[in-house]
Amino acid sequence: MKVGVYSRGLEPEQHKDIQLFFDELAREDIKPVVYAPFHHEIKEFISLPKNAERFSSPEELGEDIEFIISLGGDGTILDTATIVGGKNIPVAGINFGRLGFLASIGREELSSAIKAFAQRSVIIDKRVLIHLDASLPMFGDTPFALNEFAIHKRDTSPMIKIHTYLNGELLNTYWADGLIVASPTGSTGYNLSCQGPIVFPDSGSFVITPIAPHHLNVRPIVVPDTSIISFEVESRSDEVIVALDSRREIVNKNIQLAVRKEAFKMKLVRLNENNFLQTLRNKLSWGVDKRNQ
């Protein structure tokens, strides 16, 4: 078996766990193909398997890669999604970050997780991605997001006016600091912080949530993910910020923008005992009442 290994980089105190990770791969006869910048960072501190390989770009990931293992937090998972793209390679997140909502495998589960990879005894969930169409080229070869698309005002500018259309029909005009379109996966992220609802990963929905709206009667709305959602922006500033997950570009306010469901999905690996409801309870304290403890 051959797996890809991606990370943004880790802290010195995590080297012991990283060594354990590579030792477990070797023990299960799994060949790692390590992201080149990460390989360069750890090669002086970590004893890598002799058969380890490197990759520098998504094009170097062959069809023999069965999984990509993301070492980090949820932000690292979002990076990994852009590397995988439409290659149909499942992504497994081992949490070296904080919350670990998407990177749901804990460091204490390293050994059992790698055994599960070797035995292929994992569950693979398919997650919808959001695709961005724009009147000018944006985000290179990765105009898609796992969590959300967002429009923001520039840092010092007043609120912006976002005319939002659903399949060509006016949905609403938002006076706000910005607007989020979240996938079900992203409903527990930025959308949740802006008072948007949580939706189940297989719900077939997008959530449209305003950021700091100026009207009391404006609320988030859930729409079918078969919709095409388009936007026209008015702003006193000449520029606005457009974001896909943690990536952003500053563009002219007159740009034409539309989002829709991406043609491919991301495969997210979880261990058998983990599911969405358990993750809600464990990571977001869903339903926790101190009176009953």
With tokens 């607007």, the residue in question is 179
Q: Let me know: does 34 contact 7? Beta carbons within 8 Å.
A: no
68 DSSP β-pair partners: 4, 91
Q: What is the DSSP string of 122-171?
A: -EEEEEEEEEEEESS--STT--EESSEEEEEE-TTS--EEEEEEETTEEE
Burial of 56 (0-12, 13-18, 19+ CB in 10 A): exposed
Q: Let me know: does 238 contact 220? Beta carbons within 8 Å.
A: no
The active-site residue, picked from 17, 74, 133, 245, is: 74
Contacts of 196 (CB under 8 A, 6+ apart): 180, 182, 187, 207, 209, 220
Question: Distance of CA 128 to CAs 13, 118, 225, 262, Å?
Answer: 35, 26, 9, 7
- At residue 288, φ and ψ (nearest 5 deg) are -75, 130
Residue 17 falls in the annotated catalytic set: no
Alpha carbons 293 and 291: distance in angstroms, whole number: 6
Question: Distance of CA 129 to CAs 108, 164, 206, 260, Å?
Answer: 30, 20, 10, 9
Contacts of 226 (CB under 8 A, 6+ apart): 204, 261
Residue 38 identity: F
Helix (H, G, I), strand (E, B) or coil at 288: coil
* Active site amino acids: 74
